[in-house]
Structure 1
Amino acid sequence: MTMRVEPIIGRYGHMEIEGRTHRVYWEEAGEGVPLVCLHTAGADGRQYRAVLNDPEVTAHHRVIVFDMPRHGKSSPAPGTVDDAYALTSDAYAAQILAVCDALELDRPVVMGCSIGGRIVLHLAHRHPERFRALIGLQSSDHVAPYYDTAWLHRPDVHGGEVCGAVAYGLMAPQSPEAERDETRWHYMQGGPGVFRGDLWFYKVDGDISGQVAEIDVAKCPIHLLTGSYDYSCTPDDTRDLARRLGVEMTEMEGMGHFPMSENPERFLDYLRPVLRTIREG
């Protein structure tokens, strides 16, 4: 039987983020305009495996997917493994800028989902000159609390299984079963308290509703795509954000909160035209 080898290269790099040295893992494939992909809360870069493997995308883009510190193959900074973790807007933005600087990326496109879809708004607000364009998946300016995050990190509860269950409920039933299973498996493998700590940004610190009017999309174009089956960031949430920004949004039919992971082939049908527009623009 012939083995199929994927064209993805994984590397570790030692870089400074907010005054601390971190060993960060990233995967990449392709050549061309840099496309940096940001994974969701509590997960890692494996969510973008289809984008990394798509020849149409990688023919035009150097796709880069890094694991945030504490996620996937990126460990916590030395001496911080027992620290209480709560992701802030400043820390999240600093990670992204540090990776872009370390890899010497010239005005990359940045695409993020969920918490990644929120941080791209902060990037547009703080550093629009650094990016060619920004893509927000499941992107909203805030989210109303809808569950008790304490259940995600308790000594009497299996945190991985709870995280997987939360992720499973956010996916569309129309998405292929194998892809949904792999998506929740990623969530079951997260470090203790990491999902809960990421949600501090998503639910509290990352609320940017008061600054949306200050974002100038003429300085950095923003593209918004949201799955139709998502109660965490509904299409109406993104539609309202798009109206306030003065941009269009695309509703992705039959997908939930993790479009690039739960239904990757269908997601690529939506992504390719957006990337084409960015290149031509």
Structure 2
Amino acid sequence: MPTIDVGDGELWYEEFGSGDEVVLSCAMGFTAGAYPQVLADPPTGYHVYTIQARGFGRSTHPAEPPAIGWLDQWADDVCAVADRLGLDRFLYTGVSHGAGIGWHLARRHPQRLKALVSVVGTPHDRAGGTESSEGRRRFIAERHDPAVVTSLLEKLAGWTDDPARLESRRARFAQAAQEAADRPEDEASINQGKPFPEARTDEELAEVYRGLRLPVLVLAGMRDGVISPESALRAAMHVRGAKAVLFEDEGHMVGDESADRLVREVRVFVDELNGVAEPPVRA
């Protein structure tokens, strides 16, 4: 698969689809066949680029953490990739920490974004500090203990009483626990922290949102064990013109478990932006 030279390193990416609507997404890694790759499938048919974040996999591994912080660095990297691809503006979407990258993009480079689609990734509640979540710190410290990793993943995913989903999670979490134990030390120690760490309180975080001026779609799960419904609503309440969809029966794994549900909402949102959405049916 190809890499792009961004001046001070190389970033590995994959390309899906060939539609007119261009979508970029960045994360530590992507699961094959999950969101946002599904955005390239019919009937949506977007042109999607997924970018592996600096510090992971086949992308450049810096010797030291970026001076500007991981989330700002990754946001700048997305724009550097867009520059190399000849893209002036694009849709950005991300899941979890990938959405955190999007929020930093929205603040640092709003002119580059047609819109932001944040999936289970609105900036965390400020309770418990602003540097990083307790779960992330514990995951890094105890990643060699499969029981601890599995327990943390179960809490993160959120509860479900769907037998098929429970069985799927058991297999997925077992694989993830093994991958965590095998991950190279330089990757395993990366802790990007909470988005917008300078916002010390929820009200200060709301003030950051009020400074953003771009279309935003927030997709969230009511059963999410790390990003609370209040976090999603806070963004929807304070980013002017934002739209939010909260799924009662989804949690933090919605990108893997219900990609099609997300894609339908994204398609409606983008059609609205483009002025081609069907008018509502009125009685």
Q: TM-score range by the shorter chain?
A: 0.7 to 0.9
2:47 maps to a residue whose letter is R
**In structure 2, the residue corresponding to 1:55 is in which secondary structure?**
coil
**In structure 2, the residue corresponding to 1:200 is in which secondary structure?**
coil
Task: Provide the aligned C-alpha RMSD in A.
Answer: 3.2
Q: In the alignment, is residue 245 of structure 1 matched against residue 236 of structure 2?
A: no
Superposition pairs of residues 26-105 of structure 1, within 5 angstroms: 26-31=13-18, 32-39=20-27, 43-46=28-31, 49-53=34-38, 54-58=41-45, 61-77=46-62, 80=63, 83=64, 87-105=69-87
Superposition pairs of residues 168-247 of structure 1, within 5 angstroms: 168-172=154-158, 173=160, 174=162, 176-177=165-166, 180=169, 181-182=171-172, 185-186=175-176, 188-189=178-179, 190-192=183-185, 194=187, 197-202=190-195, 204=197, 209=205, 210-216=207-213, 220-246=214-240, 247=242
| Distance apart, 1:223 and its partner CA | 0.9
Identity %: 19
Q: TM-score, normalised by structure 2?
A: 0.75
| CA pair 149-227 structure 1, distance change in 2 beyond 3 A | closer
* Number of corresponding residues: 255
Structure 2 unpaired stretches of 5+: 277-283
Greater CA drift, 252-261 or 83-92: 83-92
Structure 1 unpaired stretches of 5+: 1-9
Q: TM-score, normalised by structure 1?
A: 0.75
Q: Which one of the candidate residues 262, 266, 269 is aligned to 1:267? A: 262
| CA pair 187-35 structure 1, distance change in 2 beyond 3 A | farther
Q: Is the 8 A contact 2:122 2:218 kept in 1?
A: no
Greater CA drift, 181-190 or 259-268: 181-190
| CA pair 74-273 structure 1, distance change in 2 beyond 3 A | same
Q: Is the 8 A contact 2:13 2:50 kept in 1?
A: yes
Q: Is the 8 A contact 1:165 1:184 kept in 2?
A: no
Measure, in 2, the Cα distance between the counterparts of 1:67 and 1:228.
28
1:11 maps to a residue whose letter is P
